């Protein structure tokens, strides 16, 4: 995506049609204030065999967008360009109207340009719109043709409603450890970043053990409010506390004979850690508000995305409980360390989800593959699944293409091949882009962003203001 500086010379070339013929003619809907006479835009578009319609206001445009199919929207922003950009990007994404947005603004700021790029805007033009910039934007949209990368055949191993997919050396190590704990009831600690598949492995451990026929009960310690976690684990009698409207059987008791999976175990308070330790050691629990000791016989599997050893060193996690849980440790690798497992997982999810949504998906484009391979995948397999699901939901063809990617990923595909010297970034622009990217990764946390960038938070705050991020 590029901006269109006023100084760029007008191309004195005969326009080449880009519309794609009658069967796939590009259709653009312009919305908003005057940017150039609508008849002129229509003429410029028709020179490229592109159909152009104009809607003076947003409500009418929304109606037109809902009624007909459009290749792109050309939105003219008013005096609140940031808000309007977010709104349009959001509306087009959620309503699955079209993947392409051409934005037009008065003197767009660098901040707006960066945000537009991040949101996957096809082009940002300056008002008044000029013929060469307008036609270049149309050409860019038309040129996005993609070639197919057929999905490979995926061997998967079913684990209840989930599956184990992957052939990378790091996953083979995980499978070997799984085989070692199979047939035993040893306590297992699963360590790995968020989304690496800890619960799937926990289920696999359970299903490969002697308690497979008994219940597998999962508790997410980080999701449950602290004041409710104790009653969730151990149960309560009616009236034990405000909100205890009926007697509740705790998860320990529900898991009797089977496996209790304590996910995000590092989030447990020290008080609760002590109670769990006692339950594990004495093999009995007490419900809140009840005096009766209830015998429990469970296999424990715990998981964490943090360094539990370090937590014991800092006193945030009980050492005795740590040693109880970490009899066998399985480290799960990050997605970026799993090489071509990414392709296998993407193919598996696409096939699986296409079936669920009643679609047929057989391939993804090479450009999609490039985008997927270049991602840092902070959320690992869970994030990949989420991305593929979003793509499958919006896909209209058998091949997943760039236009099916969520907007935040589409921005990463925009490396203009025809970048001229005048389009190259200044140091400040490069810095602003990098800051914007890190901010997006940290969810806008100034402290964490400053830490990653290695600068003081005051410096970062100043730069954010300066670049209009």
**Which residues are at the interface with other proteins (CB under 8 A)?**
58-59, 61-63, 66-67, 83, 87, 90-91, 94-95, 193-195, 198-199, 220, 222-226, 228, 243, 245-248, 263-264, 267, 305, 378-380, 382-383, 389-390, 393, 441-448, 457
- Alpha helices (runs of H) in 316-379, residue ranges in sequence order: 319-325, 341-356, 366-374
Q: How far is the CB of 308 from other proteins (least distance, A)?
A: 15
Query: Phi then psi for 331, rounded to 5 degrees?
Result: -95, 125
Phi (first) and psi of residue 276, to 5 degrees: -70, -40
Interatomic CA distance for residues 434 and 377, integer angstroms:
17
Return the bridge partners of 189, or none.
302, 329
Q: Nearest distance from residue 220's CB to other proteins, in Å? A: 5
Size of the chain, expressed as the number of residues it contains: 469
Name the minimum Å distance from CB 182 to other proteins: 23
Neighbours of 75 (CB within 10 A): 25
CB of 42 to other proteins, least distance (A): 24
Q: Which is nearer to other proteins, 163 or 303 (CB)?
A: 303
Closer CB to other proteins, residue 397 or residue 457? 457
Nearer to other proteins, 246 or 427 (CB): 246
Cα(81)–Cα(85) distance, integer angstroms? 6
Residue with tokens 């209790």: 260
Q: Which is nearer to other proteins, 44 or 377 (CB)?
A: 377
C-beta atoms surrounding 124 within 10 Å: 25
Which one, of 122, 298, 303, lies nearest residue 220 by Cα? 303
Would you call the peptide bond into 97 cis, given omega within 30 degrees of 0 as the criterion?
no
**CA 385 → CA 215, 349, 372, distances in Å?**
26, 6, 11
Of 13 and 246, CB closest to other proteins? 246
Q: How near is the Cβ of 423 to other proteins at its closest, in Å?
A: 30
CA 274 – CA 270 distance, rounded (Å): 6
CA distance 188 to 196: 16
Whichever of 226 and 355 has its CB closer to other proteins, that residue is 226
Q: How far is the CB of 194 from other proteins (least distance, A)?
A: 4
Smaller CB distance to other proteins: residue 59 or 315? 59
Nearer to other proteins, 264 or 404 (CB): 264
């Amino acid at each position: 995506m590029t901006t269109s500086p006023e100084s760029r010379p007008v191309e004195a070339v005969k326009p080449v049609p880009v519309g794609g013929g009658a069967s796939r003619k590009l259709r653009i809907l312009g919305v908003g204030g005057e940017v150039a006479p609508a008849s002129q835009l229509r003429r410029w578009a028709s020179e490229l065999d592109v159909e152009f319609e104009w809607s003076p206001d947003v409500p009418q445009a929304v109606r037109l967008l809902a009624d007909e199919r459009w290749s792109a929207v050309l939105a003219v922003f008013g005096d609140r360009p940031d808000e309007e950009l977010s709104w349009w990007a959001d509306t087009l994404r959620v309503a699955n109207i079209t993947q392409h947005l051409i934005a037009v603004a008065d003197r767009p700021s660098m901040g707006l340009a960066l945000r537009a790029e991040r949101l996957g805007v096809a082009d940002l033009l300056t008002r008044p719109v000029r013929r060469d910039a307008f036609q270049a934007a149309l050409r860019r949209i038309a040129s996005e043709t993609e070639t197919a990368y057929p999905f490979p055949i995926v061997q998967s191993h079913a684990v209840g409603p989930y599956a184990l997919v992957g052939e990378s050396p790091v996953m083979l190590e995980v499978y070997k450890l799984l085989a070692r704990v199979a047939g035993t009831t040893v306590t297992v600690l699963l360590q790995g970043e968020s989304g690496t598949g800890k619960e799937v492995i926990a289920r696999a451990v359970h299903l490969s053990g002697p308690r497979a026929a008994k219940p597998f009960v999962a508790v997410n310690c980080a999701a449950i409010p602290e004041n409710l976690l104790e009653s969730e684990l151990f149960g309560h009698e009616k009236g034990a506390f405000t909100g205890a409207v009926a007697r509740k059987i705790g998860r320990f008791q529900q898991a009797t004979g089977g496996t209790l999976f304590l996910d995000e175990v590092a989030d447990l308070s020290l008080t609760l850690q002590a109670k769990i330790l006692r339950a594990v050691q004495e093999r009995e629990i007490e419900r809140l508000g009840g005096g009766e000791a209830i015998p429990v016989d469970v296999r424990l599997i715990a998981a964490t995305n943090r360094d539990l050893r370090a937590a014991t060193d800092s006193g945030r996690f009980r050492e005795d409980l740590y040693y109880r849980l970490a009899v066998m440790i399985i480290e799960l690798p990050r997605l970026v360390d799993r090489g071509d497992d990414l392709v296998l997982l993407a193919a598996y999810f696409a096939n699986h989800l296409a079936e669920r949504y009643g679609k047929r998906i057989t391939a993804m484009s090479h450009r999609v593959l490039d985008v997927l391979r270049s991602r840092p995948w902070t959320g690992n397999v869970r994030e990949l699944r989420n991305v593929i699901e979003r793509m499958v939901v919006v896909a209209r063809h058998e091949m997943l293409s760039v236009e099916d990617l969520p907007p935040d990923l589409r921005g990463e595909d925009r490396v203009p091949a025809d970048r001229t010297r005048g389009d190259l970034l200044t140091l400040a622009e490069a810095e602003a882009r990098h800051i914007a990217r890190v901010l997006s990764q940290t969810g806008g946390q100034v402290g964490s962003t400053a830490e990653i960038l290695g600068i003081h938070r005051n410096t970062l705050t100043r730069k954010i203001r300066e670049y209009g991020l």
